[in-house]
Amino acid sequence: MLKLSASLVALAALVPLVASQAAEWGQCGGIGWTGATTCVSGTTCVVSNPYYSQCLPGAASVSPAPPSSRPAGTSTAPASGATSTAKLHTLAKAAGKLYFGTATDNPELTDTAYTAILDDNTMFGQISPANSMKWDATEPEQGVFTFSGGDQIASLAKTNGMLLRGHNCVWYNQLPSWVSSGSFTAAQLTSVIQNHCSTLVSHYKGQVYAWDVVNEPFNDDGTWRTDVFFNVLGETYPQIALEAARAADPAAKLYINEYNIESAGAKATALLNLVKTLKAASVPLDGIGFQCHFIVGEFSGPALQTQLSTFTAQGVEAAITELDIRMTLPSTPALLAQQKTDYNSVITACMNVESCVGVTVWDWTDKYSWVPSTFSGQGAACPWDQNFVKKPAYDGIAAGFSA
Ligand code: 9MR
């Protein structure tokens, strides 16, 4: 304590001498920045992106700056800075994977500081639309298809030379009410599914690497979700959707995408049994998406690796499709360090299973994460913080692909 107080006094004494220097965690450069471009002693000005450079601690003995000197919006512990300058998609490719990618969403694309990073195809080699290819966005009224939002994301992927993931054809959520509340015979709903999947997948034919054809079919206890599809058609609806998608774009990989299957349990068993049933019946199914919405410190890399191996042994590929690792706010250096370990464990699990083809984060920055609005008091789940500063998690990912 005495030592800390002494160094604080010493730092305070220095303030008049370093007034033209940015404080630790302060901004020190970037497009449009007119403030100080050098950092106080013990910190280094590190470029995070073209719009933002930050003074990051270069020596462990430096005391954290008071919150008032941190960038606006940094309400939690600042990212202590990733050190890797390698680009994640480049690393993933070098490691033999198809891609490292991210979800994005149409409203975010007006944020030029965001798109400056999103458009870097050495960082992201794959894009998933977070919302704009879902049923409510693409067929809001029966037979009326609207593709403008999805087309914007598809065009971004094409312009940047990135793979595109279609998300999704059939899901219990984000359904227009004409589907979720409709009263259909089995023949009518079969036709509704066939028309939706066929029109959607055909529209993007040739542009999509893989489609999440069926999303989240099971409850956590392994029972089927009792949505309109299951209630009317029972266990047959995945086959209807998969066959329609295959006919519409024979080159696209067709996936079932699910969460809480990343360790053994009733839900993973139910999905594994469905995969076996579908494969035995020669239903077109090429992959399983492991969403991987995790909580810091509550995840096992070896368990994930076992599940990836178990599923791919059935003759399907696998992908990490929606990775994020949330924490109870405020973030702390210890939580960020554990998050780095956890991100590393996910990448390592995928690296250790050859048929795990790639990894997608469910947006790369906390600024646009779905987590805080869904889980009260939780967040900081992405590898970049809300100011687009890379967190230690970034290093965890980079190290995973480099091992
Ligand atoms: O990221 C999506 C968010 O913007 C939407 O509000 C939410 C609504 O259901 O869906 C989010 O994406 C989900 C994805 O489509 C399926 N797996 C879970 C994702 C996070 O909720």
Q: List phi, psi (to 5°) of 305.
A: -60, -40
- CA of residue 134 to ligand 1 center, whole Å: 10
Alpha helices (H) along 40-133: 88-94, 112-118
What pLDDT does residue 276 have? Answer: 98
What pLDDT does residue 28 have? Answer: 58
What pLDDT does residue 26 have? Answer: 63
Average pLDDT of the chain? 88
DSSP element (H, E) containing 277: helix 266-280
Task: Quote the Cα angle for 265-241-146, to 5°.
Answer: 115
What pLDDT does residue 65 have? Answer: 33
Q: Is 216 considered catalytic here?
A: yes
Q: Locate the ligand 1 atom nearest the alpha carbon of residue 174 and give its number.
A: 9
Which of 216, 258, 262, 317 is catalytic? The answer is: 216
Over 80: is that where the pLDDT of 267 sits?
A: yes
Is 131's C-beta closer than 6 angstroms to any atom of ligand 1?
yes
Over 50: is that where the pLDDT of 60 sits?
A: no
Over 50: is that where the pLDDT of 11 sits?
A: no
- CA of residue 163 to ligand 1 center, whole Å: 20
Over 50: is that where the pLDDT of 114 sits?
A: yes
Beta carbons within 10 angstroms of residue 262's beta carbon? 26
pLDDT, mean of residues 229-255: 98
What pLDDT does residue 62 have? Answer: 27
Q: Do residues 135 and 189 make contact, with C-beta atoms less than 8 angstroms apart? A: no
Q: Locate the ligand 1 atom nearest the alpha carbon of residue 374 and give its number.
A: 21
- CA of residue 137 to ligand 1 center, whole Å: 13
Atom 12 of ligand 1: nearest residue by CA position: 130
pTM of the model: 0.83
Over 90: is that where the pLDDT of 31 sits?
A: no
Question: When comparing pLDDT for 78 and 359, which is higher?
Answer: 359
Q: What is the pLDDT of residues 189-217, one digit of tens each?
A: 999 999 999 999 999 999 999 999 999 99
Over 90: is that where the pLDDT of 94 sits?
A: yes
- CA of residue 174 to ligand 1 center, whole Å: 9
